[in-house]
Amino acid sequence: MAWAIEYDTSARKDLAKLDQQVARRIVTFMRERVSKPDSPRNTGEALTGPEYGNYWRYRVGDYRIVCEIHDKKIVVLVLRIGHRREVYR
């Protein structure tokens, strides 16, 4: 069973601000690489730190996608999307 990709309202706003080509590339990456039936943890990296324990990041060029993985629902919730120098602030 494939993982569902859901976008938080802030992630949707972040996508709308991006260049159309970059936004399309990010959505395609999430659909083709992260939502595969195997674990989405195989593709990304866990964020470190006490307050970031449940969050994962994915790299698409210079952009980062910060997600929360819900194992019981089989859902990857996209929380933030942004350039690597700005997304972690």
* pLDDT at position 39: 85
* pLDDT at position 49: 80
Question: pLDDT digits over 49-79, tens only?
Answer: 877 778 999 999 999 999 999 989 999 999 9
Domains in the chain with CATH codes: 4-83 (3.30.2310.20)
* pLDDT at position 87: 85
d(CA 77, CA 11): 9
d(CA 21, CA 40): 24
d(CA 63, CA 86): 9
* pLDDT at position 62: 95
